[in-house]
């Protein structure tokens, strides 16, 4: 009897096939798909911030943001786009020797860069549309606060949070491979992504938007005033802190979380074969 859900071992096969398809994208396909994914995530992040920024209770605020943010990944996986964090699962196709390490790294490089272009484009449009002045400039002040807090993390905090984030995000992507219908895909994407937003984990592509909008907002004196952030704390929002306190460790963490804890973990369960002698012993037993 046919079902609308792949079995766990079949999901692994789907992940391998998806990795093969992604490795065969032409450069212009990868560029456009990467820009679209960055834009989708940015739209989800902005909408989540708009809905939640004025809520005083931290738990309720995060729950509201978490219920809206997943729209970004839904658009990526259902409409079609390429997101760096999800593409960490291409490691399964590499482990299965269906694609080369070089082709995966080329895809990662193009998608990472173009995800940033897409995220920055949306941030630029939002800023120039004057949307940060919502709620007496409080939305813009909130954008600055978020960027300052993220740039103030220690390396180990950002690394650990990045690992946790992409474990959850890649489980959502992995689960979406299993669902054959629209409702199933939405359900498996929505709840894990909501969990990572509520938990406050660090997502490299979402942070491309948060830093872009924060830096743009900082150029507006009224938004800076609405943030109620002191000058010395505002000074923490600089490229040195952004890159070394967040971008690098979060990206490394996202790769570890998605590639190792999800992709290679499931590959080792369903595809890895021990050496022939050991395998024959297990088969005989």
Q: What is the pLDDT of residues 50-88, one digit of tens each?
A: 999 999 999 999 999 999 999 999 999 999 999 999 999
pLDDT of residue 275: 67
pLDDT of residue 165: 98
d(CA 83, CA 228): 34
Q: Which two tokens stand for residue 232?
A: 């010395």
CATH number of 8-269: 1.20.1080.10
pLDDT of residue 273: 82
Dihedral sign from CA coordinates of 40, 43, 45, 51: negative
At residue 179, what are phi and psi to the nearest 5 degrees?
Answer: -80, 130
Q: Which two tokens stand for residue 166?
A: 């992409």
d(CA 53, CA 182): 30
pLDDT tens, residue by residue, 162-217: 999 999 999 999 999 999 899 999 999 999 999 999 999 999 999 999 999 999 99
pLDDT of residue 122: 98
Going from N- to C-terminal start, the domains of the chain cover 8-269
pLDDT of residue 171: 98
């Amino acid at each position: 009897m046919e079902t609308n859900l792949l079995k766990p071992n079949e999901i692994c096969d789907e992940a391998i096939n998806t990795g093969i398809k992604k490795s065969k994208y032409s450069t212009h396909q990868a560029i456009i798909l990467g820009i679209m994914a960055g834009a989708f995530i940015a739209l989800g992040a902005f909408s989540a911030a708009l809905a939640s920024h004025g809520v005083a209770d931290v738990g309720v605020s995060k729950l509201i943001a978490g219920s809206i943010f997943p729209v970004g990944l839904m658009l990526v996986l259902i409409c079609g786009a390429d997101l760096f964090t999800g593409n960490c699962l291409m490691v399964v196709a590499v482990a299965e020797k269906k694609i080369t390490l070089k082709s995966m790294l080329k895809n990662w490089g193009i998608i990472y860069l173009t995800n940033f272009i897409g995220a920055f484009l949306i941030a630029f449009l939002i800023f120039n549309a004057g949307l940060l002045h919502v709620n007496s400039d409080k939305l813009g002040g909130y954008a600055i606060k978020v960027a300052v807090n993220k740039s103030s993390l220690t390396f180990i905090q950002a690394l650990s949070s990045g690992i946790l984030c992409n474990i959850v995000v890649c489980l959502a992507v992995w689960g979406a491979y299993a669902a054959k219908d629209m409702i199933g895909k939405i359900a498996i994407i929505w709840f894990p992504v909501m969990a990572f937003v509520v938990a406050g984990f660090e997502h490299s592509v979402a942070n491309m938007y948060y830093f872009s909008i924060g830096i743009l907002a900082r150029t507006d004196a009224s938004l800076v005033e609405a943030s109620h952030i002191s000058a010395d704390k505002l000074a923490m929002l600089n490229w040195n802190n952004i890159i070394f306190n967040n971008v690098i460790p979060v990206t490394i963490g996202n790769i570890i979380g998605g590639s190792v804890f999800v992709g290679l973990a499931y590959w080792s369960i369903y595809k890895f074969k021990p050496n022939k002698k050991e395998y024959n012993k297990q088969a005989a037993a």
